[in-house]
Amino acid sequence: MNHSSAKRYNSVIPPYILNRIIEHGTEPQRNCARQTLVHVNTLMAQPYAKPQKITTARAGQVERDIYDAKNSTKLPGESVRKEGQASNGDVAVDEAYDYLGVTYDFFWQAYQRNSLDNKGLALLGTVHYDKGYQNAFWNGQQMVFGDGDGEIFNRFTIAIDVVGHELSHGVTESEAGLDYNGQSGALNESLSDVFGSLVKQFHLKQTADKADWIIGEGLLAKGIHGTGLRSMSHPGTAYDDPLLGKDPQPADMHGYVNTRDDNGGVHINSGIPNRAFYLAATQLGGNAWERAGYVWYDTVCDKSLPKNADFVTFAQLTVQHAGKRFDDTVAQAVREAWEKVGVM
């Protein structure tokens, strides 16, 4: 898999979780995980499809179109709910429709950003992708949601932060195009966790101290020992389960994982910048999207951010933007957060 195409297809379940299921699951669970991995790899090999130039009627007005793949792998599937249409009674369709809308509203209201490309891109989503598909992904054109297998994962539309996470890859792709490997890839993943968590906090009207900072809450099925896929406040503690193993994310640079797997550990080492954001946001207090979030947003939109940025480069830019948009107090809080995780 080459890195240039790998960055285009961002899926929420990291390969190490799927591999763990293949090693330790029951036969049906292993089959589902294998199928999911094969699909992800097939998608990665496909040429990058540019987003369709469907734009909203006006800035601040979301344009959504939800499709049903009817358990096939054909995309986008059958259109089942267009913008402004009533619910068809399918909970996955409604969740996709609602959470695409919340994500649009978040970026518009918090940062005056008109959709993922800032040009009013219509938001497309397909539900009921394949049978027992254990993932959700953004393919450069649209969101795609599996139903999960019900034993390990619930339906992938259930978690608003997963929707926010995947769509935020579109923002990062549009603004920074961060290479999807090594530290720049981990930053790419972390930015999606940051904005995914902020979408949830914005939706629930939660201040930084009230948020759970869990990515994928509600996604793990009953009987799986864990709170979600990742913890931004305490990386490495999201799950500890006989089937899934223990959450491998490090919380600081002392635990940094050097690996060739997962494009150089993009889903593992993202725990380090995730925790830096959490520390900055809670230190600053209030709504996380208003100060810490704005600093991170300014940084991802900074044209001087290199595509192969490492943690230190990104951290230095966040401190600069904190001082520029706010003041020295905010800049100091951001600097201290990066220092606590051993980046600065």
Active site amino acids: 166, 267
Secondary structure E strands in 232-285: 240-241, 245-246
Are 5 and 45 in contact by the 8 Å Cβ rule? The answer is yes
Q: Is 132 left (phi over 0), alpha (psi -120 to 50) or beta?
A: left
Measure the CA–CA gap between 314 and 292, rounded to whole angstroms. Answer: 14
Measure the CA–CA gap between 243 and 221, rounded to whole angstroms. Answer: 12
Dihedral sign from CA coordinates of 330, 332, 334, 340: negative
User: How many angstroms separate the Cα of 52 from the Cα of each of 96, 109, 121, 122, 147?
Assistant: 19, 24, 8, 8, 25
Measure the CA–CA gap between 315 and 276, rounded to whole angstroms. Answer: 9
Are 166 and 96 in contact by the 8 Å Cβ rule? The answer is no
Q: Which of 289, 254, 252 is nearest to 272 (CA)?
A: 252
Quickly list DSSP for 276-322.
HHHHHHHHH-S-TTTTHHHHHHHHHT-TTS-TT--HHHHHHHHHHHH
Measure the CA–CA gap between 263 and 186, rounded to whole angstroms. Answer: 9
Measure the CA–CA gap between 194 and 199, rounded to whole angstroms. Answer: 9
Q: Which of 116, 141, 138, 127 is nearest to 56 (CA)?
A: 116
